[in-house]
Amino acid sequence: MIQIRRAENYDFDEIWPIMHEAFLKADTYVFSPDTSKEEGFRIWMETPLATYKQ
């Protein structure tokens, strides 16, 4: 069974590689391919109301 829950800050280490790969392809998101992990954290974990993780 798949469990979806609100992502915690410590989950970002698992989220970042997926995000970074999508940013590098530059065909899905409008973020620069050279977005740093720190900037990615701000974009994905601090700016939105909530992020969810499987």
pLDDT one-digit tens code per residue, 36-52:
999 999 988 988 777 77
Q: Between β-strands 52-53 and 5-6, what pairing exists: parallel, antiparallel or unpaired? A: antiparallel
Return the residue matching tokens 């997926």: 18
Percentage above 90 pLDDT, the chain: 57
Beta bridge partners of 5: 53
How far is Cα 22 from Cα 47, in angstroms, rounded to an integer? Answer: 19
Domain boundaries, the chain: 5-53
pTM for this structure? 0.76
How far is Cα 54 from Cα 28, in angstroms, rounded to an integer? Answer: 20
